Amino acid sequence: MLLSIVVPFYKYKNYLNECLDSLLNSSFHDFETILVLDHNEENIDDLLQTYSSLNIRVIHNEKHGVASSRNAGIKAAKGNYIYFLDSDDYVLKDTLYLLSTCITNQDIVYGQVNNTWNNMANYLEKQAKKLENLDDEEVEMKEMESQQKIQDFISQYNQPESTLLAYYHMFKKKRGSNNITVLSHAYSRTFLLENNIEFNESLTYYSDFPFIIECLSKAKTFNGCLDAIYVKRRHNDPINYPALRQEENEGRFYERMNSYELSYKKTNNEILTEMIDYKIINYYFRHFVKRLRRSEKPEWKNEYFNRFSEVMNLVSDKAISKYSKEKQKMIASLKNKDLNKTLKLVRTFLGKKKLKNMTHNKNTMFKLAYYHVYLKKPILKNVVLFETFNAKNYSDSPKYIYEYLASHYGDQYEFVWALNNGAKPKYGGKVVKRFSFEYAYYLARAQYLVFNVRPPLWYRKREGQTFLETWHGTPLKRLVFDQEEVTAASPKYKQQFYKQRKDWDYLISANDFSTETFARCFMYEGEILDIGYPRNDILYAPNKEELAVEIKKKLNIPLDKKVILYAPTWRDDEYYGKGQYKFELQLDCKMLKEKIGNEYVLLLRTHQYISDRLDTTGLEGFAINVSQYDDISELYLISDICITDYSSVFFDFANLKRPILFYTYDIEKYKNQLRGFYIDMTSEVPGPLLYTNEEVLYAIEHIDEVEQQYSERYQQFYDRFCHLDDGNASKRCVERVFLNKKD
């Protein structure tokens, strides 16, 4: 047998599932799977059953930790080569096959690791596209550049080329020793056993580094295949499912130091020693300096500083000489255990770095003012800053809270709106552009902040500030901590959310269902105002008929025409770039115009994340693009029918008790791959799920029948989700948050 795949398992069964799945789908089969159970608490019998065709050998680690699990795996292995696969990672279909083609009596055969938080297919597709876009000449240039770098590296040392190539590829480039990993490579079992190479079990977090250094130091023959990709999962929920490297632990620092020291002991090789040097120096400038300057834990300036000084004294002068004079000085003062001098140098070093980052992008200069000037000034009493959808429009609950507050208590407060679209708030509130100096000013100094999404990441909540998070919809799609993989967001999303939600003093909920869901999915512990949605007050306004006429006139809609609003949501996997989502209209507007154009006007409204512009050519007199219209609540008021998909708009629209149609042409993908839902779309939503344009047309033409058919379900839905809305939510909100009344 060629390979023994050693999979240590401690926790996160859902990841193990994907890991084993990847082995099952591998195009290469000459391997055994050794699953080393490390006191796992989740029962995995069902998984073993599912993957019985892999003939998994299960062994139990008597000790604890990934090092001893892997050692147990090495001992149990029967294959000629050993491949370590962590239970939260996976391989691609051809990874093992490609690796196997390079195995011809080498001590080590190396592959390559790719990090991902997304699915790998996406990544590969993107890579392929990138290559497609480069013309042949560019590809050739890039290839030549990288060849040149490799040659430069090789020419520096006097060692066999295959060894140097292995070093180069494993370390990627000079001074890049941070990339070092034991993963993605196959190790000859005899080589490991004959040389007594094993993981150091006293290390929990950092046993990889000395292991690979020892392997590289002792191996005589190498081969590699960089296309043999090992996929390393970037955990996107470090709060609930931290990866080993994301766990916070007291002993971590000392372990890191021990691991560096141990690594030096494992080799005499010049290149490898230099790699260790670089790793230590990199750690100093990338991480240690920040802790030294900012950590509140006194250890960083005492014990940790002294211990690091000892380790830095092991670093060769040759490696140090490759750094700038400034960095050399910082290293020297650390080596001399001169804390005061080091602190001084570090302060300048970090200050310069920050300034460089800020001035590099002139657009962020206001942040400097925010941190260094505005935050130091006192809070401005009774100043309220409002923001809706990142200042895209004047709408949603902040608008209604503002209008209530301004019309009833206008003389007691000063109002500021962050608005980028030129909208003018009623009652003459001050307008600032998001991410401007003025914006930073009010973000730092306003006493009250009313936002319907999260504030910028650089916002620092101050003592004396009250933050009211209104949120922007009853959740249908799974949110934050209820989502397994956050496909569209950065892997830091959950971590950031966790931190930010602590800043909220109040969170508004439109119904009991939201109250329960938000508390869980945001891991929110603050006060929830279950008062209904201020944005829905208008739907209960006594003069709503007159308001509707006004709005229709504003939009040039003939008063004798009925109105259909089509308001779909965005799709996590269809985007151009950060925050810029694609949307392709699947509704056949031309056909609808032909069939129902006499009776209806169609309002098309894309979600605020969508950057595609709808093309309404040929639809004049029938379809109106209202995507830029500020307030969707006003559009509800004039609409006789609402068509949506998985957007929360129907929870609000249902307050009007008017018919709702669901055009869910991609429900399977949306439900299973992208988000998952909190409620059962097929049995709980207040209208039919329609999959084709013909079905949509039929439903519109038979809307009375649809209403009748769904009347019972609609009522149940209304009772469950609209039970708090009555036109007075803004009032209740203002009384609690601004007048501090409790019921």
Residues lying near ligand C2G in the complex (CB under 6 A): 396, 471-473, 475, 477, 479, 567-569, 605-607, 632, 647-649
Instruction: Give 66 or 656: the residue with its C-beta nearer to ligand C2G.
Output: 656
Q: Rounded distance, CA 101 to CA 254, Å?
A: 41
Chain mean position to CA 320: 37
In the complex, minimum distance from the CB of residue 393 to ligand C2G, in angstroms, rounded to a whole number? 8
Q: Locate 262 and state its tokens.
A: 């141990």
CA dihedral 733, 735, 739, 743 (to 10 degrees): -110
Phi, psi (deg, nearest 5) at residue 483: -90, 135
Instruction: Give 568 or 688: the residue with its C-beta nearer to ligand C2G.
Output: 568
Instruction: Give 192 or 643: the residue with its C-beta nearer to ligand C2G.
Output: 643
In the complex, minimum distance from the CB of residue 454 to ligand C2G, in angstroms, rounded to a whole number? 11
Q: Rounded distance, CA 90 to CA 41, Å?
A: 21
Instruction: Give 210 or 568: the residue with its C-beta nearer to ligand C2G.
Output: 568
Half-sphere exposure of residue 392, counting CA atoms within 13 Å on the CB side? 17
Burial letters 359-393, b for 16+ CB under 10 A, else e: eeeeeeebbbebbeebeeeebbeebbbbbbbbbbb
Distances from the Cα of 373 to the Cα of 366, 457, 553, 586, angstroms: 10, 18, 47, 50
In the complex, minimum distance from the CB of residue 533 to ligand C2G, in angstroms, rounded to a whole number? 9
Q: Rounded distance, CA 448 to CA 445, Å?
A: 9
Instruction: Give 51 or 566: the residue with its C-beta nearer to ligand C2G.
Output: 566
In the complex, minimum distance from the CB of residue 379 to ligand C2G, in angstroms, rounded to a whole number? 29
In the complex, minimum distance from the CB of residue 206 to ligand C2G, in angstroms, rounded to a whole number? 40
Q: Where does 575-717 show beta strands of DSSP type E? A: 575-577, 580-581, 600-604, 623-625, 641-644, 660-663, 689-690
What residues pair up with 432 in beta bridges, in sequence order?
418
Phi, psi (deg, nearest 5) at residue 484: -75, -60
- Nearest Cα neighbor of 664 from 584, 568, 565 is 568
In the complex, minimum distance from the CB of residue 627 to ligand C2G, in angstroms, rounded to a whole number? 7
Element spanning 630, H or E: none
Instruction: Give 149 or 607: the residue with its C-beta nearer to ligand C2G.
Output: 607
In the complex, minimum distance from the CB of residue 564 to ligand C2G, in angstroms, rounded to a whole number? 13
In the complex, minimum distance from the CB of residue 460 to ligand C2G, in angstroms, rounded to a whole number? 24
In the complex, minimum distance from the CB of residue 717 to ligand C2G, in angstroms, rounded to a whole number? 16
Instruction: Give 200 or 569: the residue with its C-beta nearer to ligand C2G.
Output: 569
Q: Locate 423 and state its tokens.
A: 């909208």
Instruction: Give 369 or 585: the residue with its C-beta nearer to ligand C2G.
Output: 585
Instruction: Give 218 or 399: the residue with its C-beta nearer to ligand C2G.
Output: 399
Phi, psi (deg, nearest 5) at residue 530: -90, 85
Instruction: Give 200 or 648: the residue with its C-beta nearer to ligand C2G.
Output: 648
DSSP code of 648? Answer: T
Task: Quickly count helices (H) and strands (E) in the chain.
Answer: 31, 23
Q: Rounded distance, CA 599 to CA 684, Å?
A: 30
Instruction: Give 224 or 473: the residue with its C-beta nearer to ligand C2G.
Output: 473
Instruction: Give 276 or 649: the residue with its C-beta nearer to ligand C2G.
Output: 649
- SS3 assignment, position 662: strand
Phi, psi (deg, nearest 5) at residue 377: -90, 155
Angle at 658 between CA 657 and CA 662, to 5 degrees: 110
In the complex, minimum distance from the CB of residue 509 to ligand C2G, in angstroms, rounded to a whole number? 10
In the complex, minimum distance from the CB of residue 652 to ligand C2G, in angstroms, rounded to a whole number? 6
Instruction: Give 2 or 555: the residue with its C-beta nearer to ligand C2G.
Output: 555
Provide the residue type at 54 as one letter.
Answer: L
Q: Locate 284 and state its tokens.
A: 């100093």
Q: Rounded distance, CA 18 to CA 14, Å?
A: 7
Burial letters 255-269, b for 16+ CB under 10 A, else e: bbbbbbebbbebbeb
Distances from the Cα of 587 to the Cα of 624, 694, 738, angstroms: 14, 10, 44
In the complex, minimum distance from the CB of residue 654 to ligand C2G, in angstroms, rounded to a whole number? 12
**Cβ atoms 714, 686 nearer than 8 A:** yes
Judging by beta carbons within 10 Å of its beta carbon (0-12, 13-18, 19+), is residue 110 exposed, middle or buried? buried
In the complex, minimum distance from the CB of residue 23 to ligand C2G, in angstroms, rounded to a whole number? 35
In the complex, minimum distance from the CB of residue 610 to ligand C2G, in angstroms, rounded to a whole number? 8
Pairing of strands 580-581, 575-577: antiparallel
Instruction: Give 31 or 721: the residue with its C-beta nearer to ligand C2G.
Output: 721
Task: Convert 533-581 into a string of H (helix), E (strand) and C (coil).
Answer: CHHHHHHHCCCHHHHHHHHHHHCCCCCCCEEEEECCCCCCCCEEECCEE
Instruction: Give 215 or 642: the residue with its C-beta nearer to ligand C2G.
Output: 642
Distances from the Cα of 727 to the Cα of 539, 545, 635, 701, angstroms: 7, 15, 17, 32
- Nearest Cα neighbor of 661 from 619, 694, 614 is 694
Distances from the Cα of 597 to the Cα of 241, 586, 682, 702, angstroms: 53, 18, 30, 15
In the complex, minimum distance from the CB of residue 675 to ligand C2G, in angstroms, rounded to a whole number? 9
What residues pair up with 112 in beta bridges, in sequence order?
229
In the complex, minimum distance from the CB of residue 642 to ligand C2G, in angstroms, rounded to a whole number? 10
Instruction: Give 111 or 398: the residue with its C-beta nearer to ligand C2G.
Output: 398
In the complex, minimum distance from the CB of residue 501 to ligand C2G, in angstroms, rounded to a whole number? 13
Q: Rounded distance, CA 72 to CA 210, Å?
A: 18
Element spanning 83, H or E: strand 81-84
Instruction: Give 479 or 690: the residue with its C-beta nearer to ligand C2G.
Output: 479
